[in-house]
């Protein structure tokens, strides 16, 4: 049985009254059309201290999110109706969207990279070990929490080439003041660059700084994240800000001021 007030059983079910302890527990939304797998993941995460909401498709996912905002979404790729890739892309375009771990029977490198390119923060092939999924959930939530806790209220804004990144509010503004939405992965990479400006960072260093070694992330996944970050920047300005240094890595070209 699920603990009281931890599971939203569908878009028409109202969440039960939550205690103050429940409110302190991270909420994970599990979205999968396989009821057995959905139940297995939900029970396992719930047993390890998480609030768990569940949905069997993307429409139910949106209803669940309207009732309670999750801290992280475990999202299946292949579902009837709107698929997980489309949902991940839409989530990545939203400001302050939760972290996303994609699950899929398509587990080759190309499929993983596509998942990361559309906005997922991590990708696991089915069938997966529940303990590995738990470890990745913990790692993503830990990095998100650490990012918020480490940034103090003074000096939390970085300025570079007219751009401003507020690492507390996770707010990126272009030189005209327009907000640029970033996925968790893109934000982590940009924060790494502004904290280490005008310095070549190898893929291994970017993995260490931005994502940690808790997840199975390939070099090409970093390339994909940086490519997406560059596209978002280049839509606003046509000045090269992040340079590829052949056989070495990447470098943020402009100097950075911390305000």
pLDDT one-digit tens code per residue, 145-203: 765 555 444 568 999 999 999 988 889 999 999 999 998 888 989 999 999 999 999 88
Shared domain check, 38 and 145: yes
Mode of pairing for the β-strands spanning 157-160 and 27-31: unpaired
The domain boundary, picked from 99, 115, 149, lies at 149
Instruction: Give me the chain's average pLDDT, please.
Output: 82
Shared domain check, 104 and 84: yes
CA angle 181, 116, 83 (to 5 degrees): 90
List the structure tokens of 245: 């240094």
Half-sphere exposure of residue 253: CA atoms within 13 angstroms, side-chain side: 10
Shared domain check, 136 and 186: no
Shared domain check, 162 and 127: no
Shared domain check, 138 and 31: yes
Write down the number of H helices and E strands in the chain.
Answer: 9, 12
The domain boundary, picked from 130, 149, 168, lies at 149
Residue 236 lies in a domain: yes
Q: How many domains does the chain have?
A: 2
- Global confidence as pTM: 0.57
Its domain, for residue 161, covers: 151-258
Instruction: Give the neighbor-by-neighbor strand order of the sheet with 27-31.
Output: 51-55, 27-31, 72-76, 99-104, 122-125
pLDDT at 77 over 70: yes
pLDDT of residue 219: 53
3-state class of 101 per DSSP? strand
């Amino acid at each position: 049985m699920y603990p009281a007030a931890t599971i939203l059983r569908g878009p028409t079910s109202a969440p039960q009254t939550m205690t103050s302890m429940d409110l302190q527990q991270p909420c994970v939304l599990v979205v999968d059309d396989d009821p057995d797998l959905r139940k297995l993941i939900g029970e396992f995460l719930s047993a390890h201290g998480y609030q768990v909401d569940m949905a069997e498709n993307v429409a139910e996912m949106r209803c669940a999110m309207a009732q309670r905002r999750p801290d992280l979404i475990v999202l299946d790729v292949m579902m009837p109706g709107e698929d997980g890739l489309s949902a991940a892309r839409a989530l990545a375009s939203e400001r302050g969207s939760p972290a996303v771990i994609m699950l899929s029977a398509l587990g080759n490198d190309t499929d993983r990279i596509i998942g990361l390119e559309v906005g997922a923060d991590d990708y696991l092939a089915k069938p997966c070990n529940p303990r590995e999924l738990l470890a990745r959930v913990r790692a993503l939530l830990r990095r998100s929490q650490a990012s918020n806790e480490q940034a103090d209220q003074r000096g939390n804004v970085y300025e570079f080439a007219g751009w401003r990144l507020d690492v507390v509010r996770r707010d990126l503004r272009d030189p005209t003041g327009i907000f640029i939405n970033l996925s968790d992965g893109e934000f982590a990479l940009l924060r790494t660059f502004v904290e280490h400006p005008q310095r070549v960072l190898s893929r291994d260093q970017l993995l260490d700084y931005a994502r940690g070694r808790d997840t199975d992330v390939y070099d090409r996944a970093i390339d994909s994240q940086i490519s997406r970050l560059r596209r978002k920047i280049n839509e606003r300005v046509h000045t090269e800000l992040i340079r590829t240094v052949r056989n070495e890595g990447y470098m943020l070209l402009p100097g950075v001021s911390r305000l």
